[in-house]
């Protein structure tokens, strides 16, 4: 692994402002987030703060919040977020050299809504492939060396079969020395064996097993009886 722990500090008088009031950010300020496996999934409802966390983690590592690799910057020179400015890392033994030298850092921040544009600006051409095929081609061609790979809902463009292929890519990436932190709503991705799963919500952050996740329970019940859910939203 590259990173063992991430944390942040902010003056106490600022802690009622966004994003400091988010429960997950408050917990990050109080004790940090420790990584216990090469792949960490952050799950939770929209608005829970998981995307805020992964964006700040990417920025703190030196990745553009728009998306892209450590060696590339978006043309607009986007400023770091308030949390991204304050993110700090404790290096894992294998990551001390990388975190000790800014120029030695490698990795990529992939966010669903900007991924293909960011890849195109770095010289990666999908070559007429669909959005989902372009995602998978990017993983095959750019996600292979040791580094920190931060993903924000990569499943957004992928079919069921493509998500399964992505699981295989993530497994190979960490076997090659990469570390992955991924915000997701996907019960398929979070089933990756050996992954650490952190649920983000009003409680802050807590580790859960895959079978304990609310998103897994909801999908199971919905697939078993869609009407039990749809009757609440359809006339």
Burial 170-194, CB ≥16 within 10 A → b, else e: bbebbeebbbbbbbbbbbbbbbbee
Cα 25 to the center of its chain, rounded Å: 15
pLDDT tens by residue, 152-203: 999 987 899 999 999 999 999 999 999 999 999 999 999 999 999 999 999 9
Compute the average pLDDT of residues 207-227: 95
Three state DSSP letters for 94-108:
HHHHHHHCHHHCCEE
* Domain residue extents for the chain: 3-209
Report which of 81, 72, 77 is spatially closest to residue 25, judged by C-alpha positions: 81
pLDDT tens by residue, 106-152: 998 988 777 767 767 766 665 555 666 777 877 777 788 899 999 99
Looking at CATH, the fold of the domain delimited by 3-209 is given as Rossmann fold (3.40.50)
pTM value > 0.85: yes
């Amino acid at each position: 692994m590259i990173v063992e722990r991430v944390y942040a500090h902010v003056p106490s008088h600022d802690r009622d402002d966004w994003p400091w009031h988010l429960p997950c950010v408050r917990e990050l300020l109080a004790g940090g987030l420790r990584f216990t496996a090469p792949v960490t999934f952050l799950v939770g409802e929209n608005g829970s703060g998981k995307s805020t966390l992964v964006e700040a983690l990417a920025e703190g590592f030196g990745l553009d919040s728009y998306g892209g690799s450590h060696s590339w910057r978006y043309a607009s020179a986007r400023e770091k977020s308030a949390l991204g400015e304050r993110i700090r890392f404790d290096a894992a033994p294998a990551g001390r050299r990388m975190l000790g030298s800014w120029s030695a850092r490698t990795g990529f921040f992939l966010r669903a809504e900007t991924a293909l544009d960011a890849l195109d600006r770095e010289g990666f051409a999908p070559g007429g492939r669909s959005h989902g095929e372009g995602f998978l081609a990017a993983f095959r061609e750019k996600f292979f060396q040791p580094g920190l790979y931060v993903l924000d809902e990569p499943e957004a463009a992928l079919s069921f079969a493509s998500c399964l292929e992505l699981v295989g890519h993530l497994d190979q990436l960490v076997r090659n020395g990469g570390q992955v932190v991924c915000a997701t709503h996907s019960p398929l991705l979070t089933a990756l064996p050996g992954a650490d799963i952190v649920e983000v919500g009003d409680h802050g952050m807590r580790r859960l097993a895959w079978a304990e996740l609310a998103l897994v329970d909801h999908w199971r019940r919905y697939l078993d009886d869609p009407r039990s859910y749809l009757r609440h939203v359809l006339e």
